[in-house]
Structures are given as structure tokens and as C-alpha cells.
């Protein structure tokens, strides 16, 4: 189950040494969560920022963002849109910048618990919806290369058990991205987390 309140942070220092030159990249994240409204309804504000020291045109000195991040069949975390490099609504790695700031406001609605859905060998346990809005600024403060992209979307996860003991999660997601106040594109995600 998800955490319902708290503070989560991370610091990341990375160095790429390419052709003798060292390019440091610094990144951090700070998330706040608290329960809101009915039981098991939580709101999280997830923030990330980073900066690299290097030529803006050097790909090794850039961060890239985009996509939900889930595969159609997957084995990793279900809510991958929470990761710093995810940005649902645009293609994977479609947005890059030598520095960035990103915030996502996420509302995890109370789960719907199923008591009689399926058979003893194959049954639904719960469904949990989540909604989010986000903003990503790439190269903030730069005169010409600044990009600010917003997104809005949601994800619905169905937890079910197959063959009495194999837990799986079927997820559906959708998001739309906007830039300069205009609709840019959208993304749909279907993913089955196995084992």
C-alpha cells in the first residue's frame, strides 16, 4: 500500500567523465504527503530539481523527461509517474534541460475494495484511482532555451490475485500535456505488473 503521510527526500550526485572532462550533475527531490478527506485519501506534493555543470548542448550535461514509464508487461513499481524523469503526456526523453524544476500534485483517492469479484482462483482485491497535475520547467531562467510544460492525468490500478496466490496489478493511465497554455499531446498507458 502507499504511504499516506510523511516526508521523503533524496539527494543525487552524478558525474559523467567524457573525453577527459568531468560533468557533475546534482539532483534532489522533496515530497510531502498528508491525508485529506475520507479515510485513505492522500495528497502528495512531489518536487524535484536538478542542475548540471557543462555546456548546455552537451547531452551528458542534460536531464531528460517524458512518459509514464510503465511497460505493457512490467515487474517494477506501478506508479512510475512519480519518478523524477517521468512526465506523462509527452514521449520518453522528449524534454531535456541542463537544469530543471518539477512539481506534481497528486491525489490518491480512497481504494475501492471488492468483496465478491471473481472466483477463489481469480479475484479482484481493490482498485485505486489517482489524479495528478504537474509542471516541468527545463532550463528555467535561461533566455532562449526555457521550456515550461504542464500535464494533467490519472491512473487507475486494479489489484487482483490469480491462481490463489499470484498478486498482479493491471493499470490504466492517461495524461495530456500543455505548453504555453496550448494542448500539445496526450498519452495512454496500460500495464500489467506480474509477480
Residues contributing to the site for other proteins (CB under 8 A): 3-19, 31, 33, 59-60, 62, 64, 67, 69-76, 80, 85, 91-94, 96
Q: How far is the CB of 193 from other proteins (least distance, A)?
A: 10
Q: How far is the CB of 189 from other proteins (least distance, A)?
A: 9
All cell numbers assigned to 29: 527531490
Three-state SS string over the chain comes to CCCCCEEEEEEEEEEEEECCEEEEEEEEEEEEEEECCCCCCEEEEEEEEEEECCCCCCHHHCEEECECCCCCEECCCCCHHHCCCCECCCCCCCEEECEEEEEEEEEECCCEECCCCEECCEEEEEEEEEEEEEEEEECCCCCCCCEEEEEEEEEEEEEEEECCCEEEEEEEEEEEEEECCEEEEEEEEEEEECC
Q: How far is the CB of 71 from other proteins (least distance, A)?
A: 4
For other proteins, give the closer residue by CB, 47 or 125.
47
For other proteins, give the closer residue by CB, 64 or 123.
64
For other proteins, give the closer residue by CB, 75 or 116.
75
Q: How far is the CB of 143 from other proteins (least distance, A)?
A: 24
Q: How far is the CB of 32 from other proteins (least distance, A)?
A: 10
All cell numbers assigned to 117: 469479484
For other proteins, give the closer residue by CB, 72 or 181.
72
For other proteins, give the closer residue by CB, 15 or 112.
15
Amino acid at each position: 500500500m502507499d504511504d499516506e503521510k510523511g516526508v521523503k527526500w533524496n539527494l543525487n550526485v552524478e558525474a559523467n567523465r567524457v573525453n577527459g572532462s568531468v560533468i557533475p550533475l546534482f539532483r534532489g527531490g522533496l515530497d510531502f504527503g498528508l491525508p485529506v478527506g475520507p479515510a485513505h485519501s492522500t495528497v502528495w506534493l512531489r518536487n524535484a530539481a536538478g542542475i548540471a555543470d557543462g555546456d548546455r548542448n552537451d547531452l551528458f550535461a542534460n536531464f531528460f523527461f517524458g512518459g509514464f514509464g510503465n511497460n505493457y508487461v512490467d515487474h517494477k513499481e506501478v506508479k512510475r509517474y512519480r519518478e523524477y524523469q517521468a512526465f506523462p503526456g509527452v514521449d520518453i526523453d522528449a524534454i531535456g534541460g541542463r537544469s530543471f524544476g518539477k512539481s506534481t500534485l497528486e491525489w490518491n483517492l480512497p481504494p475501492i475494495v471488492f468483496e465478491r469479484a471473481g472466483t477463489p482462483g481469480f479475484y479482484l482485491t481493490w482498485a485505486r484511482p489517482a489524479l495528478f497535475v504537474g509542471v516541468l520547467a527545463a532550463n528555467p531562467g535561461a533566455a532562449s532555451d526555457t521550456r515550461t510544460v504542464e500535464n494533467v492525468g490519472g491512473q487507475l490500478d486494479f489489484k487482483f490475485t490469480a491462481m490463489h496466490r499470484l498478486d498482479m496489478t493491471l493499470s490504466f493511465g492517461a495524461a495530456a500535456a500543455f505548453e504555453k497554455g496550448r494542448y500539445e499531446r496526450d498519452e495512454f498507458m496500460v500495464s500489467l505488473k506480474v509477480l
